[in-house]
Structure 1
Amino acid sequence: MFRRVCSVCSVCSVCAVALLAVAVAAPVAAQNFSAARLSEGVRIIADDSFEGRYPGTPGERLTLAWLQAQYERLGLEPGGPDGQWLQPVDLRRYTPVRDFSATWAGPGGTGGALVKSESLNLRSAANDGRAEITGAELVFAGYGIVASERGWDDYKDVDVRGKIVVVLPGEPDGALFNGEYPTLYDAGWWKVREAAARGAIGVIMLQPQLAEARFADAQRTFQPGGPDLELTANLHREAAASLFAAAGLDLEVLTAAAAGGGDFRATPLTGVTLSASAEEAVNVLRTYNLLARIPGTQRPDETIIFSAHWDHVGIDNHGRQTVPEGEDRIWNGAWDNATGTVGLVEMARELKAAGPAERSFIFAHMAAEEMGLLGAWAYVADPVYPVETTVADLNIDMLPLSPPTRDLPIFGFGQNELEDDLARLAEAEGRYVTDDGQPEEGFFYRSDHLPFAVAGVPTLMPWHGTDLDEGGKVVGEPAYRVMWEERYHQAADEWSEDLDFSSAVETLTLMYRLARDLANSDRWPGWKPNSEFGAIRARTTSARQ
């Protein structure tokens, strides 16, 4: 699972109940998920010989070859473009070749240089790696949020074409934006997309502190399909206050007004301009998604996608950590995400054994999730199967590793109707669906289902339960916390004989039943009224009629 990075980057319900009741009353065939097979598959691809499965390394080639061999043995057909197993993913990586320069100018001769890592960190966001801006106007757009389902619009009718938009990080507090759980609007990259869609040439985010120069200069990889701006930047609030004051504005007053929403409207910094120059070297890393397919019999163009990322972070956490001599240098990624990778193969085995369904199944092993969900973003930017007629994305990232549980947490609790379908299936087994319990992590926005959601496709991602059948949360919660702290993105995330796949089998079985129900119906699950993704899906309703 991708670690969250807090910075700007370019980088009819009645019928549904009846159908689910039938599915609960008469479970479909197969469902013979094997804990032993899961364990053996994880053992293989989390072995040291796979070198932590980093894109572009021998570990990638071993992983993709192993996956293709499994699907060929099961009798699946290639699901990639032009009848191939692999979908190429070209990742554009940017590294500064010189320090940027930036100055601001205001009325009455005010202005001056903005100093790197003291007042400003700035990156080129253009596809050619060069940014040259002279005298660009600035507009403060509050949180940079437009959320019609919440009655919120920071831009109103303000024209930002050819201008630089200045925004606050995060989102307003309170129930309107899901309380403890963040929404899509919290993400810096979404603010960039919103500004770019309105014609802005750059986005500056105000920050209480800035990263050190070595972090500001680190190589970064753009989201495939992301916007082409001149620049993105982080500006220290103290320096920003001077720019606002030169325009006759009080930053603190405007910040308070933006948090209140309602009458707030984007405000130009009249008379204040920014000039900047930056240059970055660009190189391309080619990696691959792998896709396998079970075609549907009646509506093969309607697809249900199972997704999981095959990659992890390689040797020395891809050079981000210095490992003392003699210690383990390979981040094997057994839990994250060898479990999900092997889980998809097991899902394909069971769905193939059950016989064909009316709709098609796609098993999509995504590349470069740990680099920012990049394989999934690339797929959505150039989908092999139209997103308009993709029924759902069922994402598996880190299967639970514990004894059986009563609870089944999911990411994005309250987002869409797939949750309700899963809850009815779980209830028939004496279980219950709940939220992930870690709002501070922002999990829903950190795995490969997210690009599908941004494209409007309903998504579901199960997580790790803690309410054990034997011992309840008193035993389950401390055990989960220990595993999270000791294994997640650590060199210690390795396969061992004592890993317990009992709860993984439970999760896969319910996901299987949900998928079979969707595949043998003509239902199109939807987003709930308060979801930020519902309006996106609504734009393509005619494609599903």
Structure 2
Amino acid sequence: MKQLPLLATALFALAACDTESEAPTSAPYLINEAAYKDSVATLSSDEFGGRGPATPGEDKTVEFIAKAFAEAGLRPANNGSYEQQVPLVSIEALGAPMLSVAGGNEPLALAYRADQVIWTRREQESVAVSDAELVFVGYGINAPERNWNDYEGVDMAGKIAVILVNDPGFATGDAKLFNGKAMTYYGRWDYKFDEAARQGAIGAILVHETAPAAYGWVTVDSSWTGAKFGLVREDKGASLSAFESWITTESADKLFAAASLDRRALEAAALKPGFKAVPMNLTASTEFSNKVDHVTSRNVAGVVEGSEKPDEYFVYMAHWDHLGTDPSIDGDGIYNGALDNATGTAGLIELARSFAGAREKPKRSVLFLAVTAEEQGLLGSAYYAAHPLVPLAKTVAGLNMDGINNFGRTKDVTVTGYGNSELDGLLAKVAEKQGRVIVPDAHPEHGGFYRSDHFSLSKFGVPMIYPGSGTDHVERGKAYVAAVEEAFLRDHYHAASDELTEDWVFDGAIEDLTLYYDFGRSITDTGIWPAWNEGTEFKAAREASLKGAGQD
């Protein structure tokens, strides 16, 4: 029932915006199901090799998107080019590095991929850590505004942090603790590794559990092995920990048992403010070589010019990349990434064609942005946010697509990050015309708002919305959708089996893309500037951005 006041608030705020928001949209709908399906099939084909950055698959993908933009009539967004170069460093741990633990009841030798995955973000040819002390730091969070510091009173220099995934709100469900079941940024793995480095830790070990991580070990294994990409750092990663790692739940049990520590009791203690880090009286060692390469990947961007306010922009975005090909796998090692995210990329192309071919051009300009290296940590969108092709202060709002409906029409539309901005109310009004309603993400504990590319622009203040497939199938109901999504997460997410199959249904995707088109027109054809709601972490950045650009 809590979603109703949020929706009412958003609608009220929207109604208070520029009265031009009532202007009707205009378009012959050019979104073509056959063309959309063909794009998904092409992008997720074996020929594209899993669309790994800096591979022949990238060349094919970038060429495919740029050609589609050119044929639709979009203006190249980067000084006559559809491409924006994104400099990356690729670091691959070679062989099968072990993580050895000593000092306890018995030594532990944690095997690569079976028990742990380990890597470094430092640009160096080898890593060697010997007999570094392990310290259990609970959730590894330092949040002054919440009066929470898991590192208080402990000197982590030269030590290894052992960290729980997610944040205390997830485990307790207490809405007053962090954000309850909804993951905060403090629950994200990237925050935890970065914070451990800020604390001086030489290494960081994150304990995997499926529910709080929101994915199984197969996802960890596929996502954190092989070449890992990062943005080029001026210090070449010297400020980061020497190594970072995930370990399985079973390995964590062995680790705490070797230390004669009650893991569950310590996890319970870590849920409470004032938790004190616990030395484990164990040491860990690892040594491995790296293959370090500097590569250049590419974002792809095109613009449909606005007829009245061409210097103001609405942005549609989707990541084109996936995990590439793993040659070490015996059998199918191509991570085709059909749902994730050939669908979003194909949708981006269809929306570009729709805007470019509309009978009446949008009054504001529309930027279509396909970004690279999302699967490596939102790198392409982070680079764009730091080096935008159009001013962020002139980017009115945007919509991100990451996994479009492949199971049929729904009565509702999911919004990940529901309640963050006035965009919710605007989407609700447009969805109502389709006889649909918007609903919050059913699993805010998965931290979805922080896991896709809209987050990169949000951090700079641009109001972004991240809609997704609904929860209530028009014929088969909610249980059917829940089962479909559970099966995908369990069996296909970041797995080689994420492929286009004959049982895919496309009418839901077309309905959603039509909705996204109307939503964009409701902003491009009006004078509204949607705002973040009070209490969101992005509101101050937006206000500062607009003030710096001389806008009220």
CA distance 1:37–1:332, change in 2 (3 Å): same
8 Å contact 1:410–1:436 — kept in the other structure?
yes
d(CA) in 1 for partners of 2:199, 2:277: 15
Aligned residues: 515
Structure 1 residues not aligned, in runs of 5+: 1-11
The alpha-carbon deviation at position 432 of structure 1 amounts to 0.8
Alignment partner, residue 351 of structure 1: 355
Contact 1:307 1:394 in 2 (8 A): yes
Q: How far did 1:408 drift?
A: 0.7
1:71 to 69, 74, 77: 69
Name the counterpart of 1:8: none
1:397 to 380, 402, 417: 402
Q: Give, as a single letter, the amino acid of the residue that structure 2 aligns with 1:145.
A: I
Paired with 1:208 and 1:312, the residues of 2 have a C-alpha distance of 23
SS at match of 2:413: strand
Question: What is the CA deviation profile of residues 413-467 of structure 1, one whole-angstrom value per residue up to 9, with x for unaligned ones?
Answer: 3344322321232234321111343567554444333433455543322222242
Pair 35,238 (structure 1): closer, same or farther in 2 beyond 3 Å:
closer
For residues 412 and 149 of structure 2, what CA distance do their matches in structure 1 show?
A: 38
User: Which of 214, 218, 231 lines up with 2:243 in the alignment?
Assistant: 231
Q: In structure 2, how many angstroms separate the alpha carbons of the residues matched to 1:495 and 1:244?
A: 48
Give the alignment's TM-score, normalised by structure 1. Answer: 0.75
Alpha-carbon distance in structure 1 between the residues aligned to 2:205 and 2:77: 41
In 2, distance between residues paired with 1:406 and 1:280?
A: 50
Q: Secondary structure at the match of 1:319?
A: coil
Checking the alignment, whether the CA contact within 8 Å between 1:329 and 1:491 is kept in structure 2 is: no
Of 78, 81, 85 in structure 2, the residue corresponding to residue 84 of structure 1 is: 81
Q: Residues 120 and 516 (structure 1 numbering): CA distance in 2 closer, same or farther, change over 3 Å? A: closer
Alignment of 1:237-276 (within 5 A): 255-261=267-273, 263-264=274-275, 267=277, 269=279
Matched, 1:143 2:148: no
> Which residue pairs with 1:431 in the alignment?
436
1:407 Cα offset (Å) = 0.7
**What is the CA distance between 1:148 and its match in structure 2?**
5.8
Q: Residues 18-417 of structure 1 correspond to what in structure 2 (within 5 A)?
A: 18-19=16-17, 23=21, 26-80=24-78, 82-89=79-86, 90-96=88-94, 115-117=109-111, 123-131=119-127, 141-147=137-143, 150=146, 152-155=148-151, 165-172=161-168, 173=171, 174=173, 175=175, 176-197=177-198, 200-205=201-206, 218-224=225-231, 228-233=240-245, 255-261=267-273, 263-264=274-275, 267=277, 269=279, 279-296=289-306, 302-314=312-324, 318-319=326-327, 321-323=329-331, 332-354=336-358, 355=360, 357=362, 359-380=364-385, 382-385=387-390, 387=392, 390-417=395-422
Deviation track 1:53-89 (CA, whole Å, cap 9, x = no partner) reads 3444444333322221221122212124x44222233
Q: What secondary structure is seen at the aligned counterpart in 1 of 2:231?
A: coil
Q: Summarize deviations over 1:107-133 as a string: whole Å, max 9, x none.
A: xxx999874549987544322244466
Give the match's secondary structure for 2:368: strand
**Residue type of the alignment partner of 2:226:** Q
What amino acid does structure 1 have at the position aligned with 2:414?
A: P
CA shift, 1:221, in A, is 0.5
The worse-fitting range, judged by mean Cα deviation, of 515-524 and 249-258 is 249-258
- Alignment check: 8 A CA contact 2:333 2:496 kept: no
Distance in 2, matches of 1:221 and 1:141, equals 26
Letter in 1 for 2:423: L
Calculate percent identity across the aligned residue pairs.
33
TM-score (norm 2): 0.75
| 348-357 or 116-125, larger mean C-alpha shift | 116-125
Q: 1:494 aligns with which of 478, 491, 500?
A: 500
2: distance between equivalents of 1:267 and 1:360? 52
Which has the higher mean CA deviation after the structures are superposed, 362-371 or 158-167?
A: 158-167
Q: How many Å separate the matches in 1 of 2:128 and 2:99?
A: 10
Q: C-alpha separation between the residues in 2 aligned to 1:91 and 1:518?
A: 38
Match of 1:512 among 502, 508, 517: 517
Q: Secondary structure at the match of 2:514?
A: helix
Cα displacement string for residues 234-285 of structure 1 (whole angstroms, at most 9, x for unaligned residues)? 576578669989xxx9987664443112x34x55859998887654232345
The SS at the match of 1:509 is: helix
The structure-2 alpha-carbon separation of the partners of 1:374 and 1:151, relative to structure 1 and needing over 3 Å to count, comes to same
Q: How many angstroms apart in 1 are the aligned matches of 2:180 and 2:101?
A: 38
Match of residue 523 from structure 1: 529
**CA–CA separation in structure 1 for the residues paired with 2:119 and 2:487:** 38
SS in 1 for 2:271: helix
Offset at residue 146 of structure 1 (A): 3.5
Counterparts of 2:193 and 2:18, CA distance in 1: 40
2:515 maps to a residue whose letter is L
- CA separation in 1, counterparts of 2:419 and 2:308? 31
Deviation at 1:32, TM superposition (A): 3.8
Call closer, same or farther: CA 1:112–1:299 in 2, change over 3 Å: farther
- Give distance in 2, aligned partners of 1:208 and 1:502: 36
